[in-house]
Amino acid sequence: MDFNFIIHCLPLFVAAAKLTVTLAFFGIALSLAVGALCAVANYYKVPVLKQLANAYIEIARNTPLMIQLFFLYFGLPRLGILLDGKTCAIVGLSFLGGAYMAEAFRGGLVAVSKTQIEAGLSLGLNRFQLLRHVVFPQALAVAVPVISATAIFLMKETSVFSIVALPDLMYLAKDLLKEGHSAESNFLLVISYLVIILPVSLFFSYLERRFRFAGFGS
Tell me: pLDDT of 205 over 90.
no
Q: Is residue 149 part of a domain?
A: yes
Summarize pLDDT for 67-85 with one digit per residue, the tens.
999 999 999 999 999 999 9
The number of distinct structural domains making up the chain is: 1
- What whole-number distance in Å separates Cα of residue 64 and Cα of residue 143? 24
187, burial (CB in 10 Å: exposed 0-12, middle 13-18, buried 19+)? middle
pTM above 0.85, yes or no: yes
Q: Is residue 191 part of a domain?
A: yes
The range of the structural domain enclosing residue 64 comes to 3-213
Summarize pLDDT for 13-67 with one digit per residue, the tens.
999 999 999 999 999 999 999 999 999 999 888 899 999 999 999 999 999 999 9
Q: Is residue 218 part of a domain?
A: no
Residue 203 maps to which CATH number?
A: 1.10.3720.10
Q: Is residue 8 part of a domain?
A: yes
